[in-house]
Amino acid sequence: MLNKRVRFNKQGSTLALYLGLLILLLFLPRIIQGPYYRHILVFTLMYVVLAQAWNLTGGYVGQIALGNAVFFALGAYTSTLLVMRANVTPWIGMWVGGVVAALVALALGSVVLKLKGHYFAMATLAIGEIMRLWFSNWKFVGGAQGFSVPLRGSSWYYMQWTSKIPYYYIILMMAVLVTYLVHRLDRSKYGSYAKAVNQDEIAARSRGISAFRLKQASFALTAFITALVGTFYAQYVLYISPQSVLIMSLSILVAIIPIVGGVGTVWGPVLGAVFVFPLTEFLRAQLGGQALGLNYIFFGLAVIFVVMVEPLGLVALINKIGQAIRGGRGGAHAGTEH
Amino acid sequence: MPVLSIENLTKRFGGLVAVDSVDMRVDSGEIVGLIGPNGSGKTTLFNCVAGYYKADAGEVRLNDEVITDKRMEVICEKGLYRTFQLPRAFPELSVLQNVLLATQHKHEGLLNILLRAFSDNLVVRAKELAEFVGLERLISEPAGNLSGGQQKLLELACALMKEPQIILLDEPTGGVNPTLINDIKARVREMNADGMAFFIIEHNMQVIMDMAQRIYVLDHGTLIAKGTPEEVRNNEQVLEAYFGK
């Protein structure tokens, strides 16, 4: 009885916490004024989604991908080409881009997912660079100059607005939905199988789990979600080029965020994005052109910090602090009983 | 009727012939032992049968279906479950989850895996099996906290979860204390009484002589003797392989 009530209270308070967070996020653009700060909000949420996508392959089945810019670019280029050449609304273009990216991931995955550890990371890194060079020299996709998305003012059909507010709500919705999806996946059989494959692939396969199929599915899902964000980015910035959407630093950032936040967890990518992105953006803005690349030094330090202090990331750190507080309270409570 | 039949199986590592044209079979409902000095090729043979290694020659059949060179997970789903010399539980997952992972995956669609949790029936079954091997009190404990012997028992529960045709055990009592050895023996006997076939590598002669109906002896990759425990015990070649001339 008592046990039940305690559990109910705990569930209730978790639910209240999520609801409170959601309400805060809904009103955040009212609290935070100014285009620059709102821009940081939009980008932080964008990185939440990108990091969640990366985490499915990198965190759950444990294949560290360093070429996710490929899928990001496929999403951005597909929807942009469709709207420019065939006047197809980006609302449809984004799904086409997602499917294209997922198919490319399946094709690439059938080869590279056989590689493990560093080899897989190196292969995906190389694929990203190959595609950047290829797109830089391919006229059909605008070559090195890329495309400016034709301006249409504020238009739902063309998914573009002069204000940042609609973008904020679109990316917020994506972040909430994708986080919920990962939460569901974490609780499903997929969550258990993926963790098993990650911990000991041979043991997982000897229990009949098809590790390769699981990796393929994860990689395709990663690509699909990443490409959706690619379309969003193209519509938000209204300019894409190999230098903006196919850069290695994007691929690396979407990997660093979940590593700092906590790989293979639902909230790791969220915490990681909220912690890493605004900080790097702040550093970049403060230092300007004086110390180009200092934000990479910061990434390096952040990763070293995580590996040394808490390899499981911010999520584990927060859990530990929570336990310490609860443990302290519990101890005091037990003390009064005796 | 043979559940498992191995014909002319050969595995080479460079110049070394680890398993040299070996013929063996395990009939349904049988417990068959596989013994031999260290390095005689027992585990290599298991690895070839279970799909961990690709055999260089020969054929393995499970219930008359050729399974040679099929992938590990496919062979497992067809009904051949193998355990490892060093137990390979998932240390961070709970005992219950470890057992659940060994459920049958044959008919699981991808969407089912992505969106559904384990059904209540499976959870009940996994709990029963954990109880059967005596781990009911450790059910939510991470498997990494179990002792070596308890992990061997956990492997038995996992094997049963799969409902296979035959279970290959690689040294089920290696490094296990005598009380737990008796537990393991008792569980294997009970499972065998229900019709489960076993193929067991074992270094503990007392255990294997006591449990197996028939025994194969490997030395330097070749089959040097086979027969009842009594026959094998008195075989001169076997004594020579273990103790020298």
pLDDT tens for B107-145 read 888 888 998 999 999 999 999 999 999 999 999 999 999
* Residues of chain B with C-beta less than 8 angstroms from the C-beta of A202: 52, 72, 88
**Single-letter amino acid code for the residue at B30:** E
Q: What is the pLDDT of residue A4?
A: 53
Nearest CA-CA distance, residue A196 and chain B, Å: 6
| Choice among A43-52, A146-155, A207-216 with the minimum mean pLDDT | A146-155
Mean pLDDT (chain A) is 89
pLDDT-wise least confident of A2-6, A310-314, B159-163 = A2-6
Q: Please give the average per-residue pLDDT across A301-326, as a whole number.
A: 84
pLDDT tens-digit map of A201-224: 999 999 999 999 999 999 999 999
Verify whether the Cβ–Cβ distance A200 to B115 is below 8 Å: no
Whether residue A275 has pLDDT greater than 60: yes
Cα–Cα distances in Å, from A291 out to A31, A37, A295, B79?
Answer: 32, 22, 9, 62
More confident residue, B16 or A290: B16
Contact A189 B52 (CB under 8 A): no
Answer whether A233 touches B (CB < 8 Å): no
Question: Quick one: DSSP state of residue A113?
Answer: T
CB B57 within 8 A of CB B9: yes
CA A337 to chain centre: 47
Facing B100 at nearest CB: one of A192, A203, A211: A192
User: Which residues share a beta bridge with B19?
Assistant: B11
Contacts of A187 in chain B (CB under 8 A): 117
The structural domains of chain B, with segments of one domain joined by +, span 2-243
Q: What is the pLDDT of residue A289?
A: 67
Question: Residue B219: what pLDDT?
Answer: 93
Distances (CA, A) of A316 to A110, A265, A322, A323: 34, 9, 10, 10
Give pTM, 2 decimals. Answer: 0.89
User: Searching chain A, which residue's CA lies closest to the CA of residue B78?
Assistant: A208
- Point out the residue among A192, A210, A217 whose CB comes nearest to the CB of B73: A210
Report the alpha-carbon distance of residue B13 to residue B15 in Å, rounded: 6
Confidence of residue A332 (pLDDT cuts 50, 70, 90): very low
Least confident of A64-68, A240-244, A325-329: A325-329
Report pLDDT digits (tens) over B9-31: 999 999 899 999 999 999 999 99
B interface with A, Cβ–Cβ < 8 A, is: 50, 52, 71-73, 76-77, 82, 84, 88-93, 97, 100-102, 104-106, 108, 110, 112-118, 158, 162
- Average of pLDDT values for A66-87? 96
- Which residues, given as ranges, of chain B have pLDDT below 50? none
Distance from C-alpha of B7 to C-alpha of B200, rounded to nearest angstrom: 18
Encoding tokens for residue A29? Answer: 């653009």
- pLDDT of residue A336 exceeding 60, the answer is no
Question: How far does B241 lie from chain A, in Å, by closest CA?
Answer: 32
Q: State whether B88 and A195 contact (CB < 8 Å).
A: no
Q: State yes or no: pLDDT of A108 exceeds 60.
A: yes
For B2-243, the fitting CATH number among 3.30.565.10, 3.40.50.1000, 3.30.70.1450, 3.40.50.300 is 3.40.50.300
Q: How confident is the model at residue A97 (pLDDT cuts 50, 70, 90)?
A: very high
Q: DSSP letter at A265?
A: S
**Is residue A100 scored above 90 in pLDDT?**
yes
Q: Tell me, what's the ipTM?
A: 0.90
Contact B162, B105 (CB under 8 A): no
The answer to whether residues A56 and A212 touch, using CB atoms and an 8 Å cutoff, is no
Per-residue pLDDT at A11 exceeds 90:
no
Q: What is the pLDDT of residue A288?
A: 66
In this prediction, residue B49 carries a pLDDT of 95
Check residue A40 and give its pLDDT. 93
Q: What is the pLDDT of residue A13?
A: 83
CA distance A122 to A296: 19
As a three-state string, the secondary structure of chain B is: CEEEEEEEEEEEECCEEEEEEEEEEEECCCEEEEECCCCCCHHHHHHHHCCCCCCCEEEEEECCEECCCCCHHHHHHHCEEECCCCCCCCCCCEHHHHHHHCCCCCCCCHHHHHHCCCCHHHHHHHHHHHHHCCCHHHCCCEHHHCCHHHHHHHHHHHHHHCCCCEEEEECCCCCCCHHHHHHHHHHHHHHHHCCCEEEEECCCHHHHHHHCCEEEEEECCEEEEEECHHHHHCCHHHHHHHHCC
Mean pLDDT over residues A112-120, rounded?
A: 94
B95: chain A residues, CB-CB within 8 Å: none
The answer to whether the CB atoms of B73 and A195 lie below 8 A apart is no
pLDDT at A329 over 60: no
